Structure 1
């Protein structure tokens, strides 16, 4: 038997023995990496409330923040309608949070941290952008009633967050099994004394800033408090005075930069907090509670884009598009063409039937 045949037989025999040994060997106790990651999430995390901070809700909020950038830059007249949508989102979230807290429903601290970023992440984009844009380019903004509702909701959210960080976090909220973390330029624990005190102090400052605003608005409607309102206006006049031409130009450069940064930061924070706390079942849009807000926000975003493009069109092209979109009016029965109507509208001259005589002259 040649050496090649012997070598082939040895190779085949070794392969058969290796296969039999592999088949009879006990399975490895280590699951695949994907399964290990899933088991860790189930052990460390919890099933989240998709109707409160699910994918549809988060995408809807993100679209509102991005829409605010579009509105600030190209379509400032749309700030009122955008604030209406933001108020609806904010009101619904605060109602659910307050009712769940008052009913002693099991709430995880990580959930409140996510909602904190969702609520206050749009404060700059919805308030300060509107104010600065109106100073740089005066336009009709949201009505006083909208401002009153917004400041009332943000004041309520500030008071709630102050209670959460300084008291509710340690005795009324459930901790995540493997630790509750938040985002503050890095991964930090919410139970760190410095972190909880910092966010608690920040929440108090928000409360002090927003809670008096509805009272000041109401003071203008009540006689005895009108003097207090005037004193507040004098106190705030250095910060609310009209901008000079140089400051307006600087504002138009600085505001977009801060807008983009303060829009990206809360988006990153929300997504990292959901991941770090292993919050499950929140990355699908399969419930009515998510589809409706997402559809509303998407419609508003598309409208902002459309209006912004329309504003940038030349006036002549815009008139042609609007004229082509509107069919010419069809005259109904009994109506006359424009030329006939013009002729008909001219006053007719009266015939000269009598000679004009001087006063007092009589017929002969």
Structure 2
């Protein structure tokens, strides 16, 4: 049973965005991708593709709900719900290891790059303007429920009682340092993603400049390269830390903001069962392959800050 806030600021969450089935499924996929990147690289591409499909579906839902906050629609996100969803979408970065942040020479790697470019752009809108838009909409709803005029011009945000929504650990609000940090990280993320897109375009032009046939042959030659798995311990620690931080933050925000209808008792929709089954089966299959094929004992190239150990 999820906790209910005593100040009346709890709300019914969107189970198809961050219900328990979606959350557990994504957590399982994060663990599966991290394990496959370290122990079973052959399974990584399939897991990345599955994760990207589910992420894309959740992101489209996030954008759709956010659009509702900019209109007179009765639907729309709370600011804390948008933060919960963004943490769920960022957690898959836990697959980062010593082979690089992204695989720009593969279709799935490029698709992930464009996905995170779009997510960073959404983050810029949310932290700079989206929070205020969602708050103004909630203020109009509260005024309308009290007998006021819902169509009256809304004053500056942070007037309604429920603007006390929590954004991070320690009951951090949306008005302090965390919002500034969100702005900085979203802008940096967008700049990095745009730079990587430009680099991908450069790689594409360089590859196909001699001709389409040679470009395709070069791609096949690169895909056939094999070597001993390489692990960068610093990135591995960062990946595991991001996974744990994202999961803990999501569960904390759901509890402290009194979000209802996203718990175990509400696991009753296909939108939750699909990521749950896909994530748990993916994690189980990866663990089975690692154990049965003796991948744990396989020799690997281990690095720490670029130095071979």
- CA deviation vs aligned residue, 1:314-335 (integer Å, no higher than 9, x gap): 9xxxxxxxxxxxxxxxxxxxxx
CA 1:130–1:95: 2 relative to 1, 3 Å? farther
Which residue pairs with 1:287 in the alignment? 269
2:18 alignment partner, one of 53, 56, 59: 53
> Please, what is the CA RMSD of the aligned residues?
3.0
Unaligned residue ranges in structure 1 (runs of 5+): 1-33, 135-140, 227-247, 315-364
Give me the TM-score of the superposition, normalised by structure 2.
0.71
Matches within 5 A, 1:82-231: 82-103=47-68, 104=71, 105-123=75-93, 125-126=94-95, 128-129=96-97, 131-132=99-100, 144-173=106-135, 174=138, 177=162, 179-184=164-169, 186-192=170-176, 194-222=177-205
| Higher RCO (C-alpha 8 Å, min separation 6) | 2
Provide, for residues 138-174 of structure 1, a one-character-per-residue CA deviation record: whole Å limited to 9, x for no partner.
xxx7861111110101010001111111111112344
Asked whether the 8 Å contact 1:45–1:280 carries over to 2, the reply is yes
The change in CA–CA distance for 1:198 and 1:94 in structure 2 (over 3 A counts) is same
TM-score scaled by length of structure 1: 0.61
Give how far 1:61 is off.
Answer: 0.8
What's the counterpart of residue 293 of structure 2?
A: 311
Please list every run of 5 or more consecutive structure 2 residues that lacks an aligned counterpart in the other structure: 139-159, 210-229, 297-309
Give the 3-state SS of the residue equivalent to 1:190 in structure 2. Answer: coil
Question: 1:229-273 deviations in whole A, cap 9, x for unaligned?
Answer: xxxxxxxxxxxxxxxxxxx7xx55444433332221111100000
Q: Distance in 2 between matches of 1:219 and 1:133?
A: 17
Match of 1:276 among 256, 281, 300: 256
Radius of gyration: which is bigger?
A: 1
Q: Quote how far apart the aligned CAs of 1:95 are.
A: 1.1
